[in-house]
A and B are shown apart, each in its own frame.
Chain A
Amino acid sequence: MIYMKGVPEFPQCGFSSLAVRVLKHYNVPLSARNILEDPELKAAVKSYSHWPTFPQIFIQGEFIGGSDIIMNMHQSGELKEKLKDIAANRDKTA
């Protein structure tokens, strides 16, 4: 799940766009919420994760980080590992 600025088809922020691009690279379902549409949501997510900026990426309910961290994990292979299980489960139930 990604809380982002804009929507995956039309990101309204370079960082959000980057995060979407990285996540789309993997074969996992991606849900997105446009926090620009809803200031309450924006404030709520910020205080939930103690994270002041967007985008914010959650994997299976766990807060992972922002676009820097996702990019980092993608480059180090950590992201692949994390998402591997999800992709496997998805294929099983599909």
Chain B
Amino acid sequence: MASSATSSLSLRFFFTKKLSAFTSPSSFPSPRALFLSPSRPFSISFQRIQPTTKSSASSPPSTGTSASLQPIEELPPNLQQIVALFQSVPDPKSKYQQLLFYGKNLNPLDPRFKTRENKVEGCVSQVWVRAYLDPGKNVVFEADSDSVLTKGLAALLVQGLSGSPVDKIIRVSPDFITLLGLQQSLTPSRNNGFLNMLRLMQKKALLLLSEGENGGTESKSDTGADGSPVSEPKFDVGSDKSSVLEAEKDEIQVNSDVGTNGSAVAESKASTSGAGTEASSGLGSRGQRIKEILEREFSPTVLELEDISYQHAGHAGARGSDGETHFNLRVVSKEFEGKSLVKRHRLVYDLLKEELQNGLHALSIVAKTPSEV
């Protein structure tokens, strides 16, 4: 088994040197188990720089796309190549290393672009994404992160999505993430962060579009195959960017809970857009119940409850529920005096026992006494 140093070197060779398409499997030695070998029967070239034409990706990957996933041909060509590469590498550890390799080669982002607006929400590490249009009206992305792994994920997206026109980018459904086969190598919050990166990039692409066309986005949305861009311009045009992101986030994360079925995305997005705006304005019923219970028992001086379920959508514990699975709780009460942290947390957990059995999955608790604040 090749060491990681040589493996990344060889991969680099594939990217920079091999410019011709690998047309038929017979042009290679027999398929070896070694993960570096591009001997899978793909007719996709591994060009790195120029986007290839769609026809080069005519044969679907060997894992096949089920009817419910977005067909791989609809993805931007660069992304198709990346998906293909990850699929040709079945071993999770190698996928992981490939990801790290991407991350190492990601160009650092100019610090002045590391703003709140460019920050990806819901990620344990810090990730920034920047988008701008090139002279050919294609979106170019730049990204950076303080952690090597998230750098890799960001780099993957940057490479996969850059150089493509806006409508292609916004039509990318997160299904391709499953095709990458990275899910078992990444924690759910990483997976979720990855999803959020994609969303942010798509949002930025759309923003660029609306900025460029100055509000003439209605016609553009008609061209969207699954109708999903229809709801977005209504949020973006003429509203504050950061609040748009908040509202969109709730809507989108509820969306991803509903399922990865590409065709369902349009319907659920339209139907949850109402629910999304509701969720962003306050706590749902579970949140209310939690607050009531805690207020009753602790008579707290401070009680703050924040629903962060959207950050965990796709998490094993949150799947199949409509949010309200993860919360941040800050409570200040005299009741905590004289009790150790463990005792305090236990108190809270005991009170919320029923909720925990009914789908409440995690609570991040900050429990202080008034004198500690």
Contacts and interface: CB of A to CB of B under 8 A. Distances in A.
A65 B342 contact: yes
Chain A interface size band reads 20 to 34
A52 B361 CA distance: 9
A14 B124 contact: yes
Contacts of A17: 124, 187, 189
Interface in B95-112: none
B53 interface: no
Interface stretch (B15-23, B195-203, B362-370): B362-370
Interface string A4-42: 011000111111111000000000000000001000000
B113 interface: no
Contacts of A68: 345, 364-366
B187 A13 contact: yes
A69 B345 contact: yes
A50 B189 CA distance: 25
A64 to B, nearest CB: 7
Contacts of A15: 362, 364
A18 B362 contact: no
Interface string A34-68: 00100000000000001111000000000111101
Contacts of A12: 187-188, 316
Contacts of B316: 12, 36
A72 B187 contact: no
B356 A69 contact: no
A70 B329 CA distance: 16
Closest 5 CB pairs of A and B: A14-B189, A52-B356, A65-B342, A69-B341, A12-B187
